[in-house]
Amino acid sequence: MKRTGSKVGQFVGSVMTTGGSVIAVTLLVSTIALSVLVGAVFSLKAGVITGVVLLLLSSPVLLSWGVIPLVLGWVMLRGSKNLKREAIRDRFLQLVKAKKGRLTAMEFSRVAELELTVARSYLDRWARECHADFDVTEAGEIQYLFLESQNMLTGGGQPFELFEQMKEKVSLP
């Protein structure tokens, strides 16, 4: 759900920031151009007055169709980026739980729908944060071991009793 929300937010945010900035720039450039033209034809004073009047008249449009969509689009893009990172972290935690703390970069890449190099960078960072160990599989792949000391994630009276603590440990990049 977070991944879908991220993609929708990214699309809508991009449209809003693009549309808002185009409208804002168009209004400002046309106001300046018309003011310069009036100033060149009549006088500098007439050009300045024309510019001020046009800015005052176009300010509601500039704000409602330019600045506000631009700001809201930026906020949506920022929020979609955060949602995407949360979705990646959630998929990581689900995979850690499903694989009992043992996973490879290829597995994480496939589950999180990331390029292998990006998946590996996430895993390397989280391995440092969680003090994970490493092992080499028979196929020669590096396996990340998010087991904590004394098998705390997979052992004990309740399986994954420290899973929630690990969730707090794994930060968003």
Can you give 122-150 as a three-state secondary structure string? HHHHHHHHHCCEEEECCCCCEEEECCCHH
Look up the pTM and report it. 0.63
* pLDDT of res. 161: 43
How far apart are the C-alpha atoms of 108 and 8, rounded to whole Å?
23
Task: Tell me what pLDDT residue 93 has.
Answer: 86
Q: Per-residue pLDDT averaged across 68-90, rounded?
A: 88
pLDDT for position 168? 58
The letter for the amino acid at 150 is Q
- Tracing tokens 């980026």 back to the chain, one arrives at 81
